Amino acid sequence: MTYRQLDTQAATLADRLGALGATPGASATLCVTPGPDAIAVLLALWKAGCIAAPLHERLTPSEVDHACQMVNASLHIDNQTLHNTLGKMRGEVPSPHSPLPDVIAYILTSGSSGPPKALGFTHETFAASASAVAHRLALRPGDRWGLCLSPGHIGGLSLIVRAVMTGSSVRLWPSFDAGPVARAILSGQVTHLAVVPVMLRRILASLAGERIPETLRCVLVGGAAGPRALLDQAWAAGLPLATTWGMTETASQVATAPPALARQHPGTAGRPLPGVEVRPGPGGTLQVRGPTLASAVIRSPDTTPEPLPTDRNGWFATRDLGRVDADGLVWIEGRADAIIVSGGLNVSPAEVERVIESLPGVREAVVLGLPDEEWGQVVAAVVEADPAAVTAADVDRHCRQHLVRGRCPTRTAVVDELPRTWTGKVMWSRVREHFGPAQQPRKTK
């Protein structure tokens, strides 16, 4: 589909939306299978002046209903209504929120560590993000992005907006399947990919050692920290990885290391994007300032939009621990709210995870604190590996060789696969279930 065809289809759909009562400023949720029609409807909502709220296509009905309540949607479009001349109204049309000026989209956070929030973005925010990423990765109209992330995720939506604003093309799949993605790489159908670590691991398995063509210029890895062993495996396979750090609140990327820099400094998130600033804050957390910050946040269905909280100088406090080195490179070292305090010893889960992930056969590890009457908290680990090849005893021996005793897990579970959200992030509540309902870890200060 050309951009001219896409624009014509979006204009026609926008007229139909208007006939259905979609009014400027009204919120509309969109939960459809990714494809050209889905992109046309998204653009049509914007042409009609609506605030679009794309949702992950695999959300359950109850999750969709919660999202509709969260953004006070007056129109909901799903696969059935999309192909039945575009949508039925959701019964009585609610009064629209009074959003902050110029919000054009709401994106829900992943909900990996708590109830999801809805973040509001303006056209200017998306434009600033697209321009900064295009500059950092030297993007051009001849690029073809493979869309592996849902448009209901900030990584997927920002990719679409970036492609529209740079005039590049997008290769769409209805859902992520590593096999077709690997074939698209090997046949030269895509020049760029944006993936999360679990997708990267599956793509590597599907590539099965085949030579990577020079047509693939960049594989952007974000959404969660990639284990060093996984990055090394990808580099050995010839994949041009670009490592990045970002979040929904910043319209995707904050800092990005292009492939050459990422290979030169393994583990870095790179330098902040043009126009974006990063500095250390209290307790080793990082703060962000710049034009890519979200404009509004809705915290629950019974609240109205409010400005994204920043200090008086515009700095947004993240919960990510990290540092900015003398060369301006950003390094992420875990989450402030994940620090474990055991017997007065502060334990960084990220540090313990790196040690466990260096054990051959381990794909990924999640380390958390469990309440303990004597120590306050004890260290526990859930390890993704083949249980026939890696045991809890193997993990224990490996940790004792590389960590002081107080930082070693006292409880370890080895699982075939970690529980994840649709965006590929680990579901912490489900991870904790491996240690029983009575072992819910309390929040650390």
Does 401 fall in a domain? yes
Return mean pLDDT, the chain. Answer: 89
Are 258 and 372 part of one and the same domain? no
Structure tokens at 212: 């990577």
Q: What tens digit of pLDDT does each residue of 122-140 get?
A: 999 999 999 999 999 999 9
Does 114 fall in a domain? no
Does 444 fall in a domain? no
pLDDT beyond 60 at 344: yes
pLDDT beyond 70 at 91: no
Are 352 and 375 part of one and the same domain? yes
Q: What tens digit of pLDDT does each residue of 94-107 get?
A: 555 555 568 999 99
Are 237 and 256 part of one and the same domain? yes
Show which of 335, 353, 383 is a domain's final residue. Answer: 335
Q: Which residue, among 167, 143, 153, 173, has the nearest Cα to 36 in the 3D structure?
A: 173
Structure tokens at 366: 């999640």
Q: Which residue, among 443, 415, 444, 445, has the nearest Cα to 430 in the 3D structure?
A: 415
For the chain, the domain total comes to 3
Mean pLDDT of 211-234: 90
pLDDT at 438: 43
Are 321 and 368 part of one and the same domain? no
pLDDT at 2: 94
pLDDT at 426: 83
Q: Which residue, among 58, 18, 19, 20, has the nearest Cα to 152 in the 3D structure?
A: 58
Are 132 and 216 part of one and the same domain? yes
Higher pLDDT, 430 or 13: 13
Are 205 and 282 part of one and the same domain? yes
Mean pLDDT of 405-425: 87
Structure tokens at 216: 């693939």
Does 429 fall in a domain? yes
DSSP per residue, 22-79? --TT-EEEEE--SSHHHHHHHHHHHHTT-EEEE--TT--HHHHHHHHHHTT-SEEEEH
> Rg of the chain over CA atoms, in angstroms?
22
Are 28 and 142 part of one and the same domain? no
Q: What tens digit of pLDDT does each residue of 160-182 get?
A: 999 999 999 999 999 899 999 99
Q: What tens digit of pLDDT does each residue of 240-282 get?
A: 999 999 999 999 999 999 999 999 999 999 999 999 999 999 9
Does 169 fall in a domain? yes
pLDDT at 90: 45
Are 131 and 278 part of one and the same domain? yes
Confidence of residue 221 (pLDDT cuts 50, 70, 90): very high
pLDDT beyond 70 at 44: yes
pLDDT beyond 80 at 116: yes
Are 322 and 350 part of one and the same domain? no
pLDDT beyond 60 at 440: no
Q: Return the CATH number at 369.
A: 3.30.300.30
Does 67 fall in a domain? yes
pLDDT beyond 50 at 303: yes
Are 175 and 224 part of one and the same domain? yes
Residue with tokens 């400094």: 265
Q: In this predicted structure, which of 96-105, 192-201, 221-230, 342-351 has the lowest mean pLDDT?
A: 96-105
Are 328 and 346 part of one and the same domain? no
pLDDT at 285: 93
Show which of 335, 369, 394 is a domain's final residue. Answer: 335
Does 58 fall in a domain? yes
Are 265 and 183 part of one and the same domain? yes
Range(s) of the domain holding residue 22: 3-97
pLDDT beyond 50 at 233: yes
Q: Return the CATH number at 320.
A: 3.40.50.12780
**The model's pTM:** 0.81
Show which of 97, 113, 144 is a domain's final residue. Answer: 97
- Helix (H) or strand (E) run with residue 394 in it: helix 392-402
pLDDT beyond 50 at 325: yes
> How far is CA 148 from each of CA 63, 192, 343, rounded to the nearest angstrom?
22, 11, 44
pLDDT at 21: 74
Does 214 fall in a domain? yes
Confidence of residue 224 (pLDDT cuts 50, 70, 90): low
> How far is CA 32 from each of CA 40, 168, 393, rounded to the nearest angstrom?
12, 23, 45
Mean pLDDT of 29-42: 93
